[in-house]
Structure 1
Amino acid sequence: MSPRHSDAPQRVVSAAEDMLARVGLNATSIREVSKLADAPLGSTYHHFPGGKQELLAKATRQAGDKVDALLERVLQVGAADGLRQFLAMWRERLLRAQFQAGCPVLAASVEEPVDAVAHEVRDAAAEVFARWEARLGEALERAGHAPAQAATLATLIIASVEGAVAMCRATQSIEPFDRVSAQLLELV
């Protein structure tokens, strides 16, 4: 008889992704993640022997994979329309969460871990941002932008969206996001 497959590791990674988006890197604890995931604390450490850094790096990459898949899908219709859909997704997410959740990848990149010397989580965030920039840059090139201009514009888009999300959380208003979105759409 084969051992029962458990979805606990995936629930734990998803819970960590959620906590990163809501409370940030240092406030996310394995104990709280395990509770949120309804997973035994001991099995969480079993599945993630590298501890919090390993878990949060996986959660960061998972969040990045979701957005990368979304970008791949929406950019098939073109850079401008794809960007419009991407911005609409972020706007909806902010409003639905009532500005209580941001981007887990940004959260992973802006806090220095207080409980570890490793930089696994920040490295994961850097990898994710690079993938998003590359995906956007390719779409912008297909839309007729020169390669250097497309790369610069892709960086500007990611930095602007991430900054606007942070500003919306701080101000508890969608206005910064709407202003940034309008400018980005004009540029593309």
Structure 2
Amino acid sequence: MARSSAPAPGAPSRDRIVAGAADLISRRGLKAASIREVAKHAKAPLGSTYHYFPEGKQQLATEAVRYAGAAVSGVLRRQLDAGPVAGLRAFLALWRGIVVESDFRAGCPVLAVSVEEPPADETPPALAAAAEAFQDWERLLAETLRTHGADAERAPGLAALIVASVEGAIAMSRARRSMEPLDQVAEQLEALIVGAVGGPA
């Protein structure tokens, strides 16, 4: 996911639909992202949307969450080579770009799916995909924290704190139409990371 998960005009039809679904979910939530609305948002034929996703909305939502999760993981993998602070800054910059460029209309599609109420006694595939995305981000952060000197037992908890704090700050920034919450969280998280690894990282 680059600055925005909006579909690229020249993208292949299936990819364009998945990207469009991720963008629409990030703006309106899962309930408002019907197959028809996704096709319209992605500028894709409705028939093609049903063709690629014959199982319907849950299949499309699951693919959209996996797409968004993998895109963020890719950014983290590239930047975490330079250390956990660099990874944190890239993580924050990604979401800052999406929130600001959408005029506070878009956030994280993974979080948007996570807060939807699931059917009783059932874990929808999209919700399971969201859990996997969060776990992957946490794992990547925990690995680099340990590599750079953080206590092995503390690293997973700190990684979970980073993901949870950033996701919460994205929601707060959208609600307040200000990047101040994300800026405040960024400052505190960076200090925590530096303390955890025993110096600049």
TM-score normalised over the length of structure 1? 0.92
Q: Is the 8 A contact 2:65 2:126 kept in 1?
A: yes
Residue identity in the other structure for 1:146: D
Q: Is the 8 A contact 1:12 1:37 kept in 2?
A: yes
Q: Is the 8 A contact 1:16 1:59 kept in 2?
A: yes
Q: In structure 2, the residue corresponding to 1:147 is in which secondary structure?
A: coil
| Larger helix proportion of the pair | 1
CA shift digits 1:108-165 (9 cap, x unpaired): 1111257xx6611110100100111000000100111122211000000000000000
Residue 15 of structure 1 corresponds to which residue in structure 2? 20
The CA deviation at 1:88 is: 2.4
Superposed, 1:26-65 pairs within 5 Å as: 26-65=31-70
Aligned: 1:98 with 2:103: yes
Distance 1:112 1:42 in 2: 29
Comparing 145-154 with 78-87, which one deviates more in the overlay?
78-87
Residue identity in the other structure for 2:43: D
Aligned: 1:129 with 2:134: yes
Distance 2:139 2:50 in 1: 34
Q: In structure 2, the residue corresponding to 1:168 is in which secondary structure?
A: helix
Residue identity in the other structure for 1:63: A
Comparing 31-40 with 164-173, which one deviates more in the overlay?
31-40
* Candidates 64, 67, 80, aligned match of 2:72: 67
Gaps of 5+ in 2: 1-10, 194-201
The CA deviation at 1:82 is: 2.1
Residue 143 of structure 2 corresponds to which residue in structure 1? 138
For these two proteins, the number of residue pairs brought into alignment is 181
Q: Is the 8 A contact 1:25 1:113 kept in 2?
A: no
Q: Is the 8 A contact 2:95 2:107 kept in 1?
A: no
Residue 153 of structure 1 corresponds to which residue in structure 2? 158
Which 4+ runs in 1 deviate beyond 6 A?
none
Distance 1:8 1:81 in 2: 34
Residue identity in the other structure for 1:47: Y
Residue identity in the other structure for 1:136: L
Comparing 34-43 with 169-178, which one deviates more in the overlay?
34-43
CA shift digits 1:66-92 (9 cap, x unpaired): 000000001010111221232222223
Q: In structure 2, the residue corresponding to 1:156 is in which secondary structure?
A: helix
The CA deviation at 1:35 is: 1.2
Q: In structure 1, the residue corresponding to 2:117 is in which secondary structure?
A: coil
The CA deviation at 1:41 is: 1.2
Identical-residue share of aligned pairs (%): 51
Note closer, same or farther for the CA distance 1:156–1:118 as it changes in structure 2 (3 Å cut): closer
The CA deviation at 1:93 is: 2.4
Distance 1:8 1:93 in 2: 23
Note closer, same or farther for the CA distance 1:126–1:30 as it changes in structure 2 (3 Å cut): same
Gaps of 5+ in 1: 1-5
Q: Is the 8 A contact 1:102 1:169 kept in 2?
A: yes
Q: Is the 8 A contact 1:105 1:128 kept in 2?
A: yes
TM-score normalised over the length of structure 2? 0.86
